Amino acid sequence: MSGKPCPTQSGRVSINARYFLGATPQLSEADAIALRRSLAGRLGARTNSQWQDGCKWYCLVNISGVIWSMNVQEVRILASDGGSFSAYLSMPAKGSGSVVIVIQEIFGINSVMRQIADSYAESGYIAIAPDLFWRIEPGIQLSDQNEQDWARAFQLFQSFDQVMGVSDLIATLNFARKLPEGNGKVGSVGYCLGGKLAYLMATRSDADCNVSYYGVGIENNLTEVSNIQKPLMHHIAEEDQFVPKEAQAQVIAAVKGNPLVSAYVYPGVNHAFARSGGEHYNQESAELANSRTKAFFQQHLGT
């Protein structure tokens, strides 16, 4: 089976490859999702030069007689201070909807971040995950499964300019609002470093809503709480090794009087409790936090 390439849109990478699996045996929904995530991991392993050449993978999977689609690609976004950076874009099967910006951990846009983006696409959102380390090392992908990558991740974290990171997220926000498949509504969700940046998106941007998972260092920017004009949700790990209980209490106290802000504390769990496959993953807390996020986005973004 073959397909006619779609027209290239401004800021998007052109198509030079498609993969159709519509003729494969019927798959369960769980198996299809697993296949999608596997392909996302393979796609992310492509070299930067291959990405620059342009590639869009498109997968059709037969689920109980219904053709279900996967549509992921790389896009490039212009930075406010010149240059451009890449972002992983995952489209929902319906081809349109609200946009969720997925803000990375300290490991770059790795398979974990791509899978999270795909999960939002599976829920009906256009998901976009920008490479925020592009000024340091574009395209870097690290793992949380070995000490060498942890050491490199902390180096990147220490070198990262959070002001410029927020600037790049605002550029992503503006890009997302202009997507022809979008409806103009854009929210963000961030994890770890991204959790701090999601908070800063709530204080420094006009994103429609924002969600922070175990944001690190938020207590250093609590003077900005009064700037929050759109809904914000915090997911806080009670035993977070990177966010002491004193810092957690400061964050909770600072946002307590703002009806736009909700904060949930998850007892007995450590940092990154929602990172599937991670050392501190806690299924019960992760599912509860993710269900709250899903309801929050449904309320403020629709799909």
Residue 198 token pair: 């999601």
**235 assigned to active site:** no
Amino acid letter, residue 259: P
Task: Give the start-end residues of each E strand in the chain.
Answer: 56-63, 66-78, 84-91, 97-103, 126-130, 182-191, 209-213, 232-237, 261-266
Pairing state between β 209-213 and 126-130: unpaired
The answer to whether the CB of 135 falls within 8 A of the CB of 47 is no
Strand partners, 266: 237
User: What string of DSSP letters covers 187-212?
Assistant: EEEEETHHHHHHHHHHHHS--SEEEE
Three-state DSSP at 277 gives coil
Three-state DSSP at 223 gives helix
**Candidate list 118, 131, 149, 240, residue with the active-site label:** 240
Residue 188 CB-density burial (10 A; 0-12 exposed, 13-18 middle, 19+ buried)? buried
Residue 290 token pair: 């993710």
**240 assigned to active site:** yes
**Sequence-distant (≥ 6) Cβ neighbours of residue 177 within 8 angstroms:** 99, 184, 186
CA pair distance 254, 49, nearest whole angstrom: 46
Block residue for tokens 């392909």: 39
**Candidate list 118, 144, 208, 271, residue with the active-site label:** 271
Give the catalytic positions in this structure.
Answer: 240, 271
